[in-house]
Structure 1
Amino acid sequence: MTRAAVARVRMRAPGLTFDADLAPGAVHGRPGELERMIVNVLDNAAKFSPPGTTVHIKLLADDESGSCTLSVADDGPGIDEADRPHVFERFYRATAARSMPGSGLGLAIVAQTARQHGGSVTAEPHRPGGTVVTIRLPRTYR
């Protein structure tokens, strides 16, 4: 599912490199919604990444915590500290994002889907610049 999402977004953002380090892991849930959640995070990273930069995607399946963790890091302008608590709210558009296409629903859908699947999502600064969005979902063991 994550590989398919990366492939979809890679085709829409040919000026970027997508570096994916994906460990095998499974979560229980609705596949279409989970893939949409991943695509939304990747689309956001692609939208804010300058041409020629790399979006880093890492998927870890952690036996100790019992979770799968997906992190997506970009080299864009980042999210202002004052906006960060609100980016997962429906229709919220950070000041820096208002000139770009979008409705303010993408990250709200990500947060809603993560919660509905027993997980969480955060957005933090990525050093030296950009944002890292991290999704944690309970792991299914197979």
Structure 2
Amino acid sequence: MKWINKSLYELTHDELYDILKLRVEVFVVEQNCPYPEIDGYDQKSFHIFAQDSEGIMAYCRVIPPGVKFQEASIGRVITHERTRRTGIGTEMLQYTLNDIAQRWNHPSVKIEAQAHLQAFYGNCGFKTISDEFLEDGIPHVEMIFHPK
């Protein structure tokens, strides 16, 4: 499988459409959470995804250090329903963490994770650093990744 890694301005129209469609399908429709999906970070971010003939299999965006947090940040982490529980999410995070380390030589990564996904992110090396808080009505926690 090949991971695609592009800035917003490098994405084709079809890639951008497919990314936004999947983000809305999962975060707005599936999770029944109306919120401002277009939040002003996409233009400054890198968009990492894998696709096959059926569309995007997994996606996340990487916000550079100093834009949202002092650290780099990974967000909008999605696996398409048909690829969940296949290991693709873990593979994507490993690829993304390696890319961040190479791109910025900035090893720490901070995320705001849905609270029920703490074990998933924990298995990828993230540590919870906050109490639960509500973000758009969904419990979240802040987590940090420091390489060993």
Please give the TM-score of this superposition, normalised by the length of structure 2: 0.34
Structure with greater contact order relative to length (CA < 8 Å, sep ≥ 6): 1
Please give the TM-score of this superposition, normalised by the length of structure 1: 0.34
